[in-house]
Amino acid sequence: MTYVQDPVTRRHPRGAHDHGDHTHPPGHGDHAHVEETTGPSLGPVVLDIGGDFGAAVVRTPQRLDGTEIEIRRLPSEWDGTHVAVRLRPAPGSPVYAAVFGHLLEGAYELRRRHAPQDPTVHRIDVVGGGVVDTTWPDSDQPA
């Protein structure tokens, strides 16, 4: 994957907004998105890292393409912050991954959003200025 230092985190106002596969009504709450889920990424992944901020790349199997991966910084509650798994350009061949491009260093947990049947919670530690490159646990199990 190609990493470029540049901010990508956006926050939606409390109004309606579209995720490509679903729309939130006004007043559903403010939550962060690192990217929109409107289609495949066609270019390099842009990260905002340095100082106390790092990033995470979570590699997944193809069957998770389009799945929303939610993240929370411990000990915070789940607040809906998520990104979609997408086909990403990488040296050699593309990979399926969720990319969190701007995370305050610390311990995090990740889970599949809107998937109560999947109890998987993946823990990572983000270091400022670094990129965590990890693989979703149980990647060989059916979704």
Q: Is residue 39 part of a domain?
A: yes
C-alpha Rg value of the chain to the nearest Å: 14
Q: Is residue 143 part of a domain?
A: no
Tens of each residue's pLDDT in the chain, 143 residues: 433 333 333 333 333 444 544 545 555 555 454 444 455 455 567 889 999 999 999 999 999 999 999 999 999 999 999 999 999 888 888 899 999 999 999 999 999 998 888 888 999 999 999 999 999 986 455 44
Cβ-count burial of 93 within 10 angstroms (0-12 exposed, 13-18 middle, 19+ buried)?
exposed
Task: For residue 50, give the DSSP letter.
Answer: B
CATH number for position 72: 2.60.40
Reading the block at residue 72, the tokens are 């929370």
In the chain, the number of structural domains is: 1
CB of 89 closer than 8 Å to CB of 43? yes
Domain that holds residue 63: 3-135
CB of 56 closer than 8 Å to CB of 111? no
